[in-house]
Amino acid sequence: MKVERVDTPGLLPADWREAMATWVNQLGEPLQRSLAPGHTLFVLMHEQRLLACARWVPPMSATATHGESGPAGTMSGDALRFHFHVGKLVHLSDELRLFNPQQILLLGNDLCDAGEITDLAVDPHAQEGTLKLRQVLTSIVKSHDGEGRLVVDLQGHRDEQGLSPFWRGLGARFLPEQPDAPGVGPQWRRDFAELLPALPLYASLMDDASRACIGRVGPAARLAREALQAAGFRPGAHVKIDDAGPIWQL
């Protein structure tokens, strides 16, 4: 087995696209079967069989605000990333003898200066899927050693019906046209962020089921989480804006 690297933008080979047709990534979403400028695809191959893959997305360039291309290539449509920072706001009063830390979610672009790993996926029929994902991750880490942070968004918790309680409790209140499930893809999440308030959101105002989802991993991300942990990644202080899935980083 060996890890190959693809940097050329455009459609992936037809046999790869066919193999990936039934795969889902660490977000529970279909894989992108083309490569945008500046992105790099890492694929684990055994002879001619595609076993696992991951796509590296460059950090948002410092020149992006001027509409210029960064050093890693042309800016892609999902360059601007929105996440919730999970923090605390303490209510303190000596007179009332009050010390009341409150968990808050603050919308921001904290991770735009990090390289992102997405489309982390393995052939569902392959054995030792975690090991194969780790091999791909190790190749990415070695390739970008010393070039700043790497982050990976993971699917958030799902209930027994496969739905996100966090979405029902928060997201659907700002987008009632989609009461049952959030949309798919980085462009959708960027558009959805425009509907969210920029002020801190108090988790205590959410229902218990929604609040309990913050930072929990969904079923589509379990193999990826194991591989990330083995590769040295750890959960950070940010979560996804649609289902509160954790953001792991290195």
The rounded percent of the chain whose pLDDT value lies above 90 is 73
pLDDT value of residue 101: 85
Closest CA to 249 of 230, 231, 236: 236
d(CA 133, CA 165) in angstroms, rounded, equals 28
Q: In this predicted model, what pLDDT tens digit does every residue of 93-112 receive, in sequence order? A: 778 787 878 899 999 999 99
**What per-residue confidence (pLDDT) applies to 66?**
41
Distances (CA, A) of 161 to 119, 155, 216: 24, 15, 16
| Separation between Cα atoms, residue 64 and residue 213, nearest integer Å | 34
Helical segments of the chain, H only = 14-20, 129-143, 165-166, 172-174, 186-193, 208-211, 222-230
Average pLDDT, the chain: 89
Whole-number pLDDT of residue 15? 92
Enclosing domain of residue 106: 2-249
Biggest CA-to-CA distance, the chain: 72
pLDDT at 61: 61
Which helix (H) or strand (E) segment holds residue 202: the answer is strand 201-202
Total structural domains within the chain: 1
Instruction: Point out the residues of the chain with pLDDT beneath 50.
Output: 62-63, 65-74, 76-77
